């Protein structure tokens, strides 16, 4: 759950792990937000 201006909203994540990298998509339907993200273990 994420805290938004009108209270809490569900956050959905899709992710793929490959070696030291994770990447995927996020969706927050109640706030009309979506995008991609990437993280790397350093």
Q: Which domain holds residue 7?
A: 2-40
pTM confidence score: 0.64
Highest-pLDDT range among 2-6, 30-34, 37-41: 37-41
Share of the chain above pLDDT 70, in %: 86
**From CA 37, how far away is CA 26, in angstroms rounded?**
8
Number of domains in the chain: 1
Nearest residue to 14 (alpha-carbon basis) of 37, 39, 40, 32: 37
Asked whether the predicted pLDDT for residue 35 surpasses 80, the reply is yes
> What are residue 6's phi and psi, to 5 degrees?
-110, 20
User: How much is the average pLDDT of 23-27?
Assistant: 96
């Amino acid at each position: 759950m994420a805290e938004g201006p009108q209270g809490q909203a569900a956050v959905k994540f899709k992710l793929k792990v490959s070696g030291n990298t994770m990447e995927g998509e996020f969706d927050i339907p109640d706030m009309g937000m979506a995008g991609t993200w990437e993280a790397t273990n350093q």
